[in-house]
Structure 1
Amino acid sequence: MDKVDIQLLKILQEDGRITISDLSKKLALSRPSVSERLLRLQEKGIIVEFSARVSPAKLGRETLLFIQISELKGEAKTFEDFIQIVEDIIECHRVTGPISYTIKAAVSGIDGMRKLVDRLIPYGTINTSVILASPVPYRHLLPMEDEDLS
């Protein structure tokens, strides 16, 4: 990756709907050159998807939770298959240490939280935290300055 690729990533993370034409103007490159760079970044797995970020609260899921699951009962695959179909779960990470999984969920209030926790209890020990505020809800990522990504 060169400085142009890094600038391209920065622009795309700020505005994923920007057109190739506008990207080419901002980067002072031809449209085919920008398209080629985008394709190369996708092929390398640096750009993994294009998507829209939505507000959970505007979709009726105003309560955000972090749920930690420890002392997993049963096979990890069984649990992972189950959480794939639970729509309230928006992130799940298998982690090291005494906690087996950390989950981020978006539910509709305390009743939604209770229903989700009730569904998770058979899989292990549950520790739930309600998210009060998110000072850093999402951060754009760029390569570290001394990192060689070629």
Structure 2
Amino acid sequence: MIDDTDRLLLQALAADARAPLKDLAEAIGLSPPATSERLARLRERGVIRAFTIEIDPLALGFPLQAIVRVRPMPGALATVQQRIAAMPEALECDKVTGDDCFVLRLALRSIEHLDQALDRLADCAQTSSSIVKAQALRRRVPPLKLET
């Protein structure tokens, strides 16, 4: 379990994962060495998996994103999963329950690019695509304190 100090530290990191240790320590009311130790324990326990960056796909020439629901043909689940993993356009993919097995997010240069990406799955899966107009909520950390 995590305590209130860990929660404060996680909130500070969620706001700025590049914050200097001194600033993190000040935010949670501990010394920098104690804060460093807290960070190390959170990483060892797998609470913190990585410190990462967020890149805007538009800045790299990908003005479109699509959400694609993927339903593999019978016996093709592993093949579909491998092909999705090999797609450079794939930003993320969730394996889900229900009629579809995967929900995939793609970064794309054009509608033609979407067609090319989907063609790589056409012989082993059915797909249904939606173009993303705007991201109403960015991925965020889970609630750090459960409501009681």
Give TM-score, length-normalised by structure 2. Answer: 0.91
Write out per-residue CA displacement over residues 74-124 of structure 1, whole angstroms, 9 at most, x where no aligned residue. 332222222222110011111111111110111111121111111121221
Q: How does 1:43-122 map to 2 (within 5 A)?
A: 43-122=44-123
Segments of 5+ residues of structure 2 without an aligned counterpart are none
Amino acid of the structure 1 residue aligned with 2:106: A
What residue is the counterpart of 1:127 in the other structure? 128
Q: SS state of the match for residue 122, structure 1?
A: coil
Amino acid of the structure 1 residue aligned with 2:92: E
Offset of residue 46 of structure 1: 1.0
Q: SS state of the match for residue 114, structure 1?
A: helix
In 2, Cα distance between the equivalents of 1:11 and 1:142?
14
In 2, Cα distance between the equivalents of 1:72 and 1:48?
34
Greater length-normalized contact order (CA 8 Å, ≥ 6 residues apart): 1
In 1, Cα distance between the equivalents of 2:71 and 2:81?
14
What residue is the counterpart of 2:29 in the other structure? 28
Segments of 5+ residues of structure 1 without an aligned counterpart are none
Give TM-score, length-normalised by structure 1. Answer: 0.90
Offset of residue 145 of structure 1: 2.3
- How well do the aligned residues superpose, as a CA RMSD in angstroms? 1.6
Amino acid of the structure 2 residue aligned with 1:134: Q
What residue is the counterpart of 2:18 in the other structure? 17
The total of aligned residue pairs comes to: 147
Q: SS state of the match for residue 138, structure 2?
A: coil
Identical amino acids, percent of aligned pairs: 28
More moved, 117-126 vs 134-143: 134-143
Write out per-residue CA displacement over residues 107-149 of structure 1, whole angstroms, 9 at most, x where no aligned residue. 11112111111112122111010011111122232334259xx
In 1, Cα distance between the equivalents of 2:34 and 2:73?
50
Q: SS state of the match for residue 92, structure 1?
A: strand
More moved, 119-128 vs 77-86: 77-86
Amino acid of the structure 1 residue aligned with 2:73: L
Write out per-residue CA displacement over residues 34-73 of structure 1, whole angstroms, 9 at most, x where no aligned residue. 1111111111111111110010111111101100111435
In 2, Cα distance between the equivalents of 1:37 and 1:118?
48
